[in-house]
Chains A and B, each alone.
Chain A
Amino acid sequence: GEDVEQSLFLSVREGDSSVINCTYTDSSSTYLYWYKQEPGAGLQLLTYIFSNMDMKQDQRLTVLLNKKDKHLSLRIADTQTGDSAIYFCAENSGGYNKLIFGAGTRLAVHP
């Protein structure tokens, strides 16, 4: 998506932390989202953060938001092989708040 940018690939060792970054352009976005897509599967919501928050933690997931720089990150602690997937950042846009997705970051976890 042209309004949401992500790095395309990340490789980490099992047990390490993964950090996936995203930048967005729509400063009016009230919420920002992280979705996970496993091969051949649909999009699964992982977490979301309100634009007035700086951080949100949910078990192994930590979302950091820098609203000034329009930068969002997803940190996965103790990354497991089951975390291998494509991670999409998304912002809401428009009156009915459709989601605009980034290009996705493919996370590969190796032993």
Chain B
Amino acid sequence: AAGVIQSPRHLIKEKRETATLKCYPIPRHDTVYWYQQGPGQDPQFLISFYEKMQSDKGSIPDRFSAQQFSDYHSELNMSSLELGDSALYFCASSVYGRTSGRRGANVLTFGAGSRLTVL
């Protein structure tokens, strides 16, 4: 079965540089989520998109932006990188938005993550 695909898997950048992470959700999933997981930390919700529109926003810094494209893939753009941005970035997708009345469990399927190291 197709899974959530993230690229690149590893990325090394210097401070103040820019990075872009890509996410390809499971086909026919209508909602994409981005999470950031620092070393030894729990995943922190950054932002989500439902049908290409931003649906929810969490602790995403102003230096970061994201969007979802017409083919449903999503990109997380990070500028003016700081050392503290070094983390695992996970993308997840779900079909939650399609559930009638949004009842039922919202089962997020996660990608393998993109590990960003800022030097």
Give B105 Cβ to nearest chain A Cβ, in Å.
Answer: 4
Complex: how many Å from CA A31 to CA B112?
Answer: 24
Contact B105 A48 (CB under 8 A): yes
In the complex, A42 has a CB within 8 A of chain B: yes
**B residues bordering A, Cβ < 8 Å?**
31, 33, 41-45, 48, 50, 55-56, 58, 90, 92, 96-97, 102-103, 105-113
Give A25 Cβ to nearest chain B Cβ, in Å.
Answer: 15
> Most chain-B CB neighbours within 10 Å: which of A1, A42, A92, A104?
A42
A96 in contact with B56 given A42-B112, A88-B43 (CB within 8 Å): yes
In the complex, A77 has a CB within 8 A of chain B: no
Q: Of B43, B44, B105, which is within 8 A of A31 by CB? A: B105
Complex: how many Å from CA A66 to CA B113?
Answer: 33
Complex: how many Å from CA A96 to CA B56?
Answer: 7
A98 in contact with B110 given A42-B90, A43-B90, A103-B41 (CB within 8 Å): no
Q: Which residues of A contact B58 (CB under 8 A)?
A: 98
Nearest residue (CB) in A for B43 is A101
Contact pattern, A 36-53, Cβ under 8 Å of B = 1, otherwise 0:
000001111100101000
Not counting A98-B58, A99-B106, a sample of 7 additional A-B residue pairs whose C-beta atoms are within 8 angstroms of each other reads: A1-B44, A41-B113, A42-B110, A48-B105, A48-B107, A95-B56, A97-B102
Q: Which residues of B contact A100 (CB under 8 A)?
A: 45
Q: Which residues of A contact B107 (CB under 8 A)?
A: 45, 48
Nearest residue (CB) in B for A102 is B42
Q: Which residues of B contact A35 (CB under 8 A)?
A: 110
**A residues bordering B, Cβ < 8 Å?**
1, 30-31, 33, 35, 41-45, 48, 50, 88, 92, 94-104
Nearest residue (CB) in B for A35 is B110
Q: Of A45, A92, A104, which is within 8 A of B42 by CB? A: A104
Give B11 Cβ to nearest chain A Cβ, in Å.
Answer: 15
Q: Of B41, B48, B103, which is within 8 A of A98 by CB? A: B48
Complex: how many Å from CA A45 to CA B93?
Answer: 12
